[in-house]
Structure 1
Amino acid sequence: MSKFIAIASGKGGVGRTTLTYNLGVGMSLFGRNVVMLDLDLVMANLDVITGLLNPDVTLHDVLAKNRSIDECVYEIEQGIRVIPTGIHFETLRHINPKYISWNKILEEIADYGDIFLMDMPAGINSNIFEGLPENVEMIIVTNSTMTSVADALKIRILSNELNIQIIGFVLNMWYDDGFLLSVNEIESILEVPMIGIIPYDREVERSMALGKSVAEINPSSPTSNALMQLTAHLLGEEYKPIEPDKEGILNRLKKFIGMLPD
């Protein structure tokens, strides 16, 4: 049976799309067939992050009744498929969000994967939320700022009203600062469990520039280990953190200063 996970945030800029991509790659490393679906009809970024620049057919074309959903399913790596949303506003003008059957679209792509990660638009779009399948589970993404958590609370309230099951929240791009909200404070506000803390790391920006996941760029980094630990938790798998190759680093340093032959 297919598993649908909606990745949602109340506020933009909290790293929701980047988290979706890294979770998708992580799940594929555990042997799952993953489909990442961009549901942000206006400010889509999943195509950029996954390297699908200017795809021939996008979800915009499907919703405008011009193409079939099968035409915009792209396999970017073995076990990883992406359904991108277009960035052309002229196509968007022909789409009426009130008449989109999200359930029908998700039914039509159900055979493409085991797990479907849906990158939701920031904020509250009741049409999309109400159109999610009954068995969907939701992850709320937030930062430690008061505004981010306040907007995340609005998503939690809407999800409860629509009977959407919330797995928990992910504290993304975290760094230690006494002026930010603590995990306990955020849990108290949102009244859902924290399922992962992803530290702020410039490696994320570097991996995005290279079109790779953090796990592929630096598997032993704290951020990579945190992402893979979260992935394992969602899949019910075991994950042993990868320790930095200290011996390898030492040998490279010795070679650099001439203590070891090349």
Structure 2
Amino acid sequence: MVTTYTIASGKGGTGKTTLSVNLGTALASFGKETYILDADMGMANLGIVLGLENVPVTLHEVLAGKAHVSDIIYDGPEGVKVVPSGISLQGFQDANPERLRDVMKEIINHCEILIIDAPAGISRDGVIPLAIADEVILVINPELSSMVDALKTKILTELIGGKVKGFILNRATFENTEVSVKKIREVLDLDLIGVVPEDPNVRRSAAYRQPIIIRYPDSPASVEIKRIAARLAGMEFDADSLKKKKEDKFLDRLARSMTKRGD
């Protein structure tokens, strides 16, 4: 059974795209057949984050009727499949957002989990990803404006018949996390899915065009993102166990390389 999550936020700059990329990559690393689709057709960033901004065909061309879905599925880290939007303004003008439903129907035939990176804010293009997903996950920063905008997105989602699963508090700091979680719960009346701490390694990994869970797998943000991904996948998460498996794999590779040298 396929599950579709739309990752949304009431405003830009919350880290929504970075979370979409890392959650999708983490789910793929857990053995889940996962696709990430960039539905932010006007301000597409998913491809840029993964170094796919220069691919020849994107979601724009499919939504314009100029290409097939099979033409725009690209390989990402850990086996995750990526469906990027283009960065061309002409491509954005030619794209018909109404065709996104048909694109999603075709994609879900090939995956277990589909992550949709939605446009920030409230717009015509942004309504469709909120409506077509099984569940919407709101990404919120510990700021009043972010919380208020997320409330608007929640109300809109429910008005169009969508379902909000809960919220992720992103870029949280020790000083304000507890207060923010309590306040957001009260205002939004939603479950907390996870708290991702402020982590300088997020910016560092972005410079390398890599998800933080790949570049800095043991950093605080990476651990929490993997914890959230495990929850979405219905799996138990044990950070120590994952670390030990990684160490065992390293030792196994080292042993094999030493054996080859001795031959």
Same fold, judged at TM 0.5 (above): yes
After TM superposition, the score normalised by the length of structure 1 is 0.86
**Residues 100-131 of structure 1, C-alpha deviation per residue, up to 9 Å, x if partnerless?**
23221111222332111000000112454246
**Residues 182-222 of structure 1, C-alpha deviation per residue, up to 9 Å, x if partnerless?**
21001111110111000000111111222222222222222
Q: Write the letter of the residue equivalent to 1:40.
A: D
Moved more, 36-45 or 131-140: 131-140
Aligned residue for 1:251?
A: none
**C-alpha distance in structure 1 between counterparts of 2:163 and 2:70, whole Å:** 28
Matched pairs, number: 244
**Corresponding position: 1:15 with 2:35:** no
After TM superposition, the score normalised by the length of structure 2 is 0.86
Say if 2:137 and 2:165, in contact at 8 Å, map to a contact too: yes
User: What residue ranges of structure 2 are gaps of 5+ in the alignment?
Assistant: 248-263
In 2 relative to 1, CA 142–72 (structure 1 residues): closer, same or farther, beyond 3 Å? Answer: same
Aligned residue for 2:61?
A: 61
Moved more, 177-186 or 166-175: 177-186
Q: 1:133 offset after TM fit, Å?
A: 6.2
Moved more, 191-200 or 73-82: 73-82
Aligned residue for 2:2?
A: 2
Q: 1:38 offset after TM fit, Å?
A: 0.2
Say if 1:220 and 1:242, in contact at 8 Å, map to a contact too: no
Say if 1:36 and 1:116, in contact at 8 Å, map to a contact too: yes
**C-alpha distance in structure 2 between counterparts of 1:131 and 1:141, whole Å:** 15
**Residues 227-254 of structure 1, C-alpha deviation per residue, up to 9 Å, x if partnerless?**
1111111111011124999xx9xxxxxx
Q: Write the letter of the residue equivalent to 1:22.
A: N
In 2 relative to 1, CA 83–135 (structure 1 residues): closer, same or farther, beyond 3 Å? Answer: closer
**Residues 8-53 of structure 1, C-alpha deviation per residue, up to 9 Å, x if partnerless?**
0001000000000110111011101111000001101000111213
**C-alpha distance in structure 2 between counterparts of 1:137 and 1:179, whole Å:** 24
Aligned residue for 2:255?
A: none
Give the percent of matched residue pairs that are identical in Structure 1 and Structure 2: 35
Aligned residue for 1:143?
A: 141
Aligned residue for 2:252?
A: none
Q: 1:96 offset after TM fit, Å?
A: 4.3
User: What residue ranges of structure 1 are gaps of 5+ in the alignment?
Assistant: 249-262
Aligned Cα RMSD in Å? 2.2
In 2 relative to 1, CA 167–192 (structure 1 residues): closer, same or farther, beyond 3 Å? Answer: same
**Corresponding position: 1:91 with 2:102:** no
Report 1:1-262 matches (<5 A): 1-97=1-97, 100-130=98-128, 136-178=134-176, 182-242=180-240
Q: Write the letter of the residue equivalent to 1:241.
A: A
**C-alpha distance in structure 1 between counterparts of 2:130 and 2:181, whole Å:** 29
